[in-house]
A and B are shown apart, each in its own frame.
Chain A
Amino acid sequence: MNEILVKKDLTPVTKLIVVRNPYVAAKAQPGQFIILRVRENGERIPLTIADFDREEDTITLVFQEVGFSTKLLGKLEVGDSILNLVGPLGIPAELPTSGTVVAVGGGVGVAPILPKCKELHKRGVNVVSIIGARSEDLIILEDEMRACSSEVHICTDDGSRGFKGFVSDKLKELIDGGLKCDEVVAVGPIPMMRATCETTRPYGLKTWVSMNPIMVDGTGMCGACRITVGGQTKFVCVDGPMFDGHEVDWAEAWRRAGMYRDEEKVAVESCQCGGGK
């Protein structure tokens, strides 16, 4: 259970792993996530399922080595097993069956948006993708996105490739240029999802986002992942992770995401001095 079968570096800081877990592979739907723990002393961290293969009993996870636990995960090699992995958790994404959907993926957020695009494509929905990153070398899963999209627009903050600017700027350009679209799905860092929602709000364009807050159990038990949506407190783990982005209290979500920033630094430092074996 949970053996790593494939490991790839997508960028210098982004890794893709294919993990054997027949339970999760059998039930996973686009939009759902898993919780894993790398070692006995380890944290429980949520990761969105980037792909699944029911025949092969595998799921694909893509993560950026930004924090202590993702760095630990990145140290596992093919043949190693993840200590604990539970899922699929959360409510599957509600996807339309016709029309045009613009999929906006920022940074590592392209990974969780991919299974939704694949499913939309399978249903005959026209998928227009906008994928972005800080620079060219951080763009991930481009070929996979091309395989399920009618158009793919690449954006980089530094202009090293494609459109120079944010994915939200590109989205505005496309809408103003006459692109007809029924819904937008945006996944990525909070500032990127927020900017996308602010872009679509004046057009009254339905915009789904996938939240990825701090979690502990992931089953509704702790409430660490609570956010405010439409003035109501929601638990992302059981009420989400997909929400109407125009209703999300972004300032609160951003603030809560930084709750353990100081502790994260301590953990990363202790990792460098040999703690994170």
Chain B
Amino acid sequence: MAVKERTPMPMQDPAERARNFSQVATGYTEEMALAEASRCLQCKNPRCVEGCPVSVQIPTFIGLIKERKYREAIETIKQTNNLPAVCGRVCPQESQCESKCVLLRTGHPIAIGRLERFAADWEAKGGALVPEKPAPNGKKVAVVGAGPSGLTAAGDLAKLGYDVTIYESLHAPGGVLIYGIPEFRLPKDVVRREVDYVKALGVKIVTDVVVGRTFTIDDLFDEGFEAVYVGTGAGLPMFMRIPGENLNGVYSANEWLTRINLMKAYLFPEWDTPVKKGKKVAVVGAGNVAMDAVRCALRLGAEEASIIYRRSRAEMPARAEEVENAEEEGVKFHFLTNPVEVLGDEKGWVKGLKCVKMELGEPDKSGRRRPVPIEGSEFVMDCDTVIMSLGTSPNPILSQTTSGLDAQSWGGLIADEKTGRTTRQRIWAGGDAVTGSATVILAMGAGKAAAKDIHEYLSGPQDKW
């Protein structure tokens, strides 16, 4: 029997999309969704669900799509996932649900993420149903950070009747969904809709509050909150500590993306925040954030946009799909190359990147082969903008201002993996604030687990911690 292939995702033409900020993947039509849904074998013992950090009932919702019961399909997803339009777009399904699909061995696992997105977008077109607000249980919970982890925890707690308030440091909720991931991969309207859904569940969101500065976690307890969930993410950018890193024209990926996404610098001067539109842009690093940064550079009009990575193609942490998209758009990849110095002109602006060629040696702690510099292989790459995308670490502000809330030496809060309980009673934490930079869906999974444990704790005798 011939293998039925995965229904391809319709995409904007690479040459065209590389110059605009509109969505790259335009989404399944109804026909496409029906064709894809009909390939699902509806396994009795569905392994895909095990692969989902928030346990979406995958065969059930796909079966409902097949029957054109789209309303029921999205309701099924939303029972366990508060942010389906986001997850359908940015989850690494190939290493989660889709990696467990029995059709994987045919090379054509069900496109679960695309179907999830279809269901969420269908709902958005018709206007979301306002969820029923559960009866209040009279207990107040505070959530710090309105990113994917905090929104998930808050949504789940609200569904259980808690009076939930999220405190967000930026002027807009969404966390990395709003400041980090670009419009062309995750439109901000989509994020706003998901946030509105969480608000419709009764969650209050207070922006412009830096917990640890504006007020402390102890102030929140004094205000009558019975539990606090910390989902503050990993916001501090890392630099290489090489000469020339503070030259004009060197950005952290965080700054580059925040200017472009949150502050909409690509619309300057209609929007007030500027960004330097480099002609030759070098992005150091090869994770998903690096791909976002380099693809933004192209869209801002760069003649040349390159990824500089010290390991080889096989070790790149970015999703294969994002790497492929970047290559199609014309991004250049320099593997086994490591910057040693940023070079500046007489006025202190970036004019080049001095790099050394690398080779792969023995495996390191991460199990990946360690890159070793090749002596005498230094060369200079011309560029006017350098973006450091080397990862981020958690902000120490909460561990510094909350007694008893302990963190690892690198900044990650210490929390139980299953429950999210920290070293201080009544404080839970999860997502990047605990793990360091990871994925949206893992942060959501942690928020979900913590919400469950908060409920169990607050419903019980509250003595043991």
Contact A222 B272 (CB under 8 A): no
Q: Which of B214, B255, B258 contacts A87 (CB 8 A)?
A: B214
Binds B, one of A114-122, A199-207, A212-220: A212-220
For the A-B complex, the count of residue pairs with Cβ-Cβ distances under 8 Å equals 120
- A22-33 interface bits toward B, Cβ cutoff 8 Å, 1 = contact, 0 = none: 011011000000
The 7 closest A-B pairs by CB, nearest first: A263-B274, A222-B255, A86-B208, A84-B171, A221-B235, A255-B348, A43-B272
B274 — which chain A residues lie within 8 A by C-beta? 260, 263-264, 266-267
**Given the known A-B contacts A86-B209, A216-B263, A221-B254, are A41 and B271 also in contact in the complex, defined by CB atoms under 8 Å?**
yes
- B164-179 interface bits toward A, Cβ cutoff 8 Å, 1 = contact, 0 = none: 0000011100000001
* Distance between Cα atoms of A211 and B348 in the complex (Å): 20
Instruction: Give the bracket for the number of chain A residues in contact with chain B.
Output: 35 or more
Closest Cβ–Cβ distance, residue A243 to chain B (whole Å): 15
A68 — which chain B residues lie within 8 A by C-beta? 272
Contact A86 B258 (CB under 8 A): no
B170 — which chain A residues lie within 8 A by C-beta? 217
Contact A223 B208 (CB under 8 A): no
- A69-100 interface bits toward B, Cβ cutoff 8 Å, 1 = contact, 0 = none: 10010000000000111111100000000000
A42 at the interface (CB under 8 A from B): yes
Q: Which of B236, B272, B347, B348 contacts A221 (CB 8 A)?
A: B236
B245 at the interface (CB under 8 A from A): yes
Majority DSSP secondary structure for residues of A touching B: mixed
A5 at the interface (CB under 8 A from B): no
Contact B258 A233 (CB under 8 A): no
B269 at the interface (CB under 8 A from A): yes
Closest Cβ–Cβ distance, residue A87 to chain B (whole Å): 7
Closest Cβ–Cβ distance, residue A269 to chain B (whole Å): 8
A20 at the interface (CB under 8 A from B): no
B189 — which chain A residues lie within 8 A by C-beta? none
Contact A24 B252 (CB under 8 A): no
Chain B interface residues toward A at CB < 8 A: 169-171, 179, 207-210, 213-215, 235-237, 239, 241, 245-246, 248-249, 251-252, 254-255, 258-259, 263-264, 267-274, 276, 347-348, 395, 397
Closest Cβ–Cβ distance, residue A49 to chain B (whole Å): 12
Identify 14 new A-B residue pairs, CB closer than 8 A, beyond the known A43-B273, A220-B395, A222-B254.
A41-B264, A42-B272, A86-B208, A86-B214, A216-B255, A216-B263, A219-B235, A220-B235, A222-B237, A226-B246, A228-B246, A255-B347, A256-B246, A260-B274
Contact B270 A41 (CB under 8 A): yes
Q: Which of A24, A41, A233, A264 contacts B214 (CB 8 A)?
A: A24
A150 at the interface (CB under 8 A from B): no
* Distance between Cα atoms of A224 and B170 in the complex (Å): 16
**Given the known A-B contacts A43-B263, A263-B268, A267-B269, are A86 and B246 also in contact in the complex, defined by CB atoms under 8 Å?**
no
Contact B245 A233 (CB under 8 A): yes
Q: Which of A23, A39, A85, A264 contacts B215 (CB 8 A)?
A: A23
A11 at the interface (CB under 8 A from B): no
A37 — which chain B residues lie within 8 A by C-beta? 171
Contact A44 B263 (CB under 8 A): yes
Question: Among A72, A220, A264, which residue has the most Cβ atoms of chain B within 10 A?
Answer: A220
* Distance between Cα atoms of A264 and B274 in the complex (Å): 8
A252 at the interface (CB under 8 A from B): yes
A138 at the interface (CB under 8 A from B): no
Contact B213 A88 (CB under 8 A): yes
B252 — which chain A residues lie within 8 A by C-beta? 222-223
Closest Cβ–Cβ distance, residue A212 to chain B (whole Å): 17
A267 — which chain B residues lie within 8 A by C-beta? 268-269, 272, 274
A160 at the interface (CB under 8 A from B): no
B171 — which chain A residues lie within 8 A by C-beta? 37, 44, 83-84, 86
A178 at the interface (CB under 8 A from B): no
Contact B248 A233 (CB under 8 A): no
Question: Among B241, B251, B348, which residue has the most Cβ atoms of chain A within 10 A?
Answer: B348
Contact B213 A222 (CB under 8 A): no
A12 at the interface (CB under 8 A from B): no
Contact B248 A88 (CB under 8 A): no
Closest Cβ–Cβ distance, residue B271 to chain A (whole Å): 4
Question: Among A27, A37, A41, A88, which residue has the most Cβ atoms of chain B within 10 A?
Answer: A41
Residues of chain A in range 219-246 having any CB-CB distance to chain B below 8 Å: 219-224, 226-228, 233, 238
